[in-house]
Amino acid sequence: MKPLQLSKPYLIAMVGIPGSGKSFFANHFAKTFNASIISGELIDSSSASPEAAEKISNYMLDQLFKSNSTIIYDRGLKRRSDRHELAKLAKQAGYETLFVWVQTDTAAAKSRFIKSQKIDKSKAADLFENEFRKFTAPNSHEKHMVISGKHTYASQLKIVLTKLVDSRPKTDMPDRQQSLPRHEASRRIAIR
């Protein structure tokens, strides 16, 4: 598919507890729109230390900001302070940030997380609990949206694309309501 063309470049940042489905959505979205992705799974697994992973991630982000195209960020945004810092960097680079909060019930997320780990199940369960405790949910000051980690990618995609289109400035969108028949115009308003 063609790259996602928006009036302003977006940094789409994934948020959620471990095992919620963040990487599933991020990888499929990046593939669908041929978008660049910063993947915590890949960076963290191939780095010698957390500090090295952070340096690699920051370098990649700086380089991708130069592209002025959509970037998917799927790495370590458990705390509001981390999300605030990322949004600040994106704004300085001329990007709009959208946090996509993938929600899944805790039991399902824990089960997914444990299955995905290549370590002993009890250690994986402890790791999940540790990471789960660090997570702070987005608040009203953060530009975010929620998708279900149990829905299909197609339904998740539809929700995110609707949000991206609806967040465009109204001047970019032609005023079609006046040209629509009255019943279609009212239905369009109700859908929004």
Q: Which two tokens stand for residue 39?
A: 């993947």
User: What pLDDT is stored for residue 1 in this prediction?
Assistant: 57
User: What pLDDT is stored for residue 187 in this prediction?
Assistant: 36
The total number of structural domains that make up the chain: 1
Structure letter (DSSP) for residue 172: G
pLDDT at residue 176 above 90?
no
Residue 161 lies in a domain: yes
Calculate mean pLDDT across residues 13-23. 96
Q: What proportion of the chain, given as a percentage, has pLDDT over 90?
A: 68
Residue 45 lies in a domain: yes
CB of 40 within 8 A of CB of 74? yes
Task: Please report which confidence band the pLDDT of residue 77 belongs to, taking 50, 70 and 90 as the band edges.
Answer: very high
Structure letter (DSSP) for residue 68: T
pLDDT at residue 172 above 60?
no
Task: Please report which confidence band the pLDDT of residue 168 belongs to, taking 50, 70 and 90 as the band edges.
Answer: low
Work out the angle at residue 128's Cα, subtended by the Cα atoms of residues 38 and 115, and round it to the nearest 5 degrees. 80
Residue 1 lies in a domain: no
CB of 57 within 8 A of CB of 86? no
Task: Please report which confidence band the pLDDT of residue 192 belongs to, taking 50, 70 and 90 as the band edges.
Answer: very low
Instruction: Tell me how far apart the alpha carbons of residues 37 and 12 are, in angstroms, rounded to a whole number.
Output: 9
- Which residue range(s) make up the domain with 179? 10-191
Residue 22 lies in a domain: yes
Residue 147 lies in a domain: yes
Residue 5 lies in a domain: no
| Torsion sign over Cα 11, 42, 83, 147 | positive
Tens digits of residue pLDDT in 119-149: 999 999 999 999 999 999 999 889 899 999 9
Answer whether 0.85 is exceeded by the pTM: no
Residue 176 lies in a domain: yes
Q: What is the CATH number of the domain that holds 162?
A: 3.40.50.300
Element (H, E) at 175: none
pLDDT at residue 52 above 80?
yes
